[in-house]
Structure 1
């Protein structure tokens, strides 16, 4: 029987690599309607094969996984920072996430030539990072109210994995969303999603975890987020995947944050396997990589890394790095004598 620590590590890795797997599976189908997917994959796409609109190589990260990596690296930086003796001020994890995201935007990123920008970027993310490049203030650079895409929900999960208290998780979730997506539908969706993930890590059953999400949305006075969660409880995911989403979830799933949250809740509450549920999430069509990433994070936190098919895991661009970073953050948090990582020293000019 796994210990509590082993179970938590499995769920932590499952959450991170669930995002990556959902992203890489869905990348092939991005912008396709349900009818188009049904024509080519009548039983759903079950392998990570790459291709798609941007001709991805199999398992390559899109912006969903890349920006999750940016947030993960910020938490890795924070864990290293806490190793310093008598730090002069609190670590600003939102600023660090914005810095790493700007590196991604400006072309300092694995898998790309130096200076080459990303192939795929959402409009709110582009606006936020362009403004951040000038202000360097993560609290004043979001795309503004009215821009409610899912581009911060797709990257937010490291907060749930590496921040201990609910109050701090909610604060950090909102701040990390806001440097690109500061519409309250986005910031509160991120906070709600991360509380659901944190509950799953603590061993709560999916329904209980979702109830906590409803509680958070209500506490943040966002009835629209609460309604999105309630819709997810009733969404017939397998029916929509096999018969089409009709008018309730339009074929061109637009990337609206509350729609993606609804789909992710439906996925979490579906008792089938990680693979079967995620295949159906991407069968619906539209913003398949991001819906896959958001749902994959919840499913990975529910089921652990062992539930992700090995044939998927072995193709993921950042599998080894995500595992190393996550274990390092958890180790640094529990081992005050451990030294600073070489990557942190290099980034911050520490000899």
Structure 2
């Protein structure tokens, strides 16, 4: 098996925008699948079993995933991606603007996932892994069918919306729409402002990277957005990440520098992702080290993988990883179609 990238949909070289967009989506998927093997494990236990880190997508973990199978991180990213696909389909061939509610569509697809109407799942069978805020928000949405009156409420500040938000960075049409939809798509499950603003900030960083801005410029875009949205806590999370030595923490353990051993707290996951983005090493080595930190390894891998893929492009993701990913072709086909219309 070669480690030279080859698209599953085209043999032509990719332009930078397409490469970075595909890299962002499949970076989420790859980080999720890589981290699923050691989800909830401590740094010390991972070091004993994988002294050089988990270097291949092998599946397993506490939920017994097949290699490359999507966990909730990638599944819900797919739900948001499908919403943007549906908007493009609704608008196709129309000479007038179609008022398509992409937030409601994302919530509808997420509910389908929750109810078991999903690839490789038994119809009606719930997901084997779901966060508390996600479950509360989708249960409320099932009752109300209004995504703007759901969410788990203040105090539920997990990373379950940050892990799925990246399609908005790639396919929203303006900055205003990107920020608005990032917050609203977060809020139908995670409406604590630490979550919704983290999603908006993350997506501004991704959009800047896809537009060809440097890492420093992209991080500055994130800081400016956090300031504009009046969130000092998110600003501090970005600053913390910018100073975070991922390789050293991966080698020696995060200790008390990452309280809760990289728990599912949204601001901690954002910091880890910023630390990964600002690490100059190749995507593969950085993502392996993010997983080595332990804790919420699949989600931290997904969030960091999205930024790294947007930074380096799909060519930086090892082919041996890409070949394993459950939704690789699905993501590539939808994304290239949407990008061709933009």
Structure 1-normalised TM-score? 0.92
Q: Give the one of 160, 163, 166 matched to 1:157.
A: 166
Aligned pairs for 1:199-278 (under 5 A) are 199-250=208-259, 252-278=261-287
Distance 1:40 1:4, change over 3 A: closer
Q: Residues 195-232 of structure 1, C-alpha deviation per residue, up to 9 Å, x if partnerless?
A: 00000001001111001100000000000000000000
**2 CA distance for matches of 1:4 and 1:55?**
36
- Contact 2:148–2:184 (CA<8 Å) still a contact in 1? yes
Shift in CA distance, 38/193, structure 1 to aligned 2, threshold 3 Å: same
User: Root-mean-square deviation (CA), in Å?
Assistant: 1.4
SS in structure 2 at match of 1:55:
coil
8 Å CA contact retained: 2:116, 2:126? yes
Query: Using the alignment, how far apart are the partners of 1:220 and 1:42 within structure 2?
Result: 42
Change (3 A) 1:34 1:251: farther
- Per-residue CA deviations over 1:171-200 (Å, capped at 9, x if unaligned) read 000010000000000000000000000000
- Structure 1, unpaired ranges of 5+: 335-351
Structural mapping, 1:136-215, within 5 Å: 136-215=145-224
CA distance in 2, matches of 1:22, 1:286: 14
The answer to whether 1:106 aligns with 2:123 is no
| Aligned partners of 1:251 and 1:285 also within 8 Å | no
Partner of 1:21: 30
Match of 1:293 in 2: 302
Tell me which of 59, 67, 92 is aligned to 1:58: 67
Query: How far 1:61 sits from its partner (Å)?
Result: 0.2
TM superposition shift of 1:166? 1.1
Shift of 1:330: 1.8
Task: Give the match's secondary structure for 1:247.
Answer: helix
1:257-289 Cα deviation digits (max 9, x unpaired): 000000000000000001000000000000000
* Corresponding residue SS for 1:296: helix
Counterpart-to-counterpart distance in 1, 2:85 and 2:321? 25
1:291-327 CA-partner distances (Å, limit 9, x unpaired): 0000000000000000000000000000001000101
| TM value normalised by structure 2 | 0.95
Alpha-carbon deviation of 1:250?
A: 3.2
Q: Distance in 2 between matches of 1:26 and 1:273?
A: 17
Question: Aligned equivalents of 1:88 and 1:210: distance in 2?
Answer: 33
Post-superposition Cα deviations, 1:129-182, rounded to whole Å, max 9, x if no partner, equal 000001000000100111000000000000000113111100000010000000
Cα distance between partner residues in 2 of 1:199 and 1:89 = 27
3-state DSSP of counterpart to 1:252? helix
Query: How far 1:43 sits from its partner (Å)?
Result: 1.2
Secondary structure of the corresponding residue to residue 48 of structure 1: coil
In the alignment, is the contact (CA less than 8 A) between 1:152 and 1:186 conserved in 2? yes
Counterpart of 1:151 in 2: which secondary structure? coil
- How many residues are aligned here? 331
Other-structure match for 2:130: 121
Give, in angstroms, the shift of residue 84 of structure 1.
Answer: 5.0
State the partner residue of 2:335: 326
Residues 148 and 256 in structure 1, CA contact (< 8 A), matched pair in contact too: yes
CA distance in 2, matches of 1:330, 1:143: 33
Q: CA deviation at 1:233?
A: 0.7
- Which residue of the other structure, out of 293, 305, 321, is the alignment partner of 2:314? 305
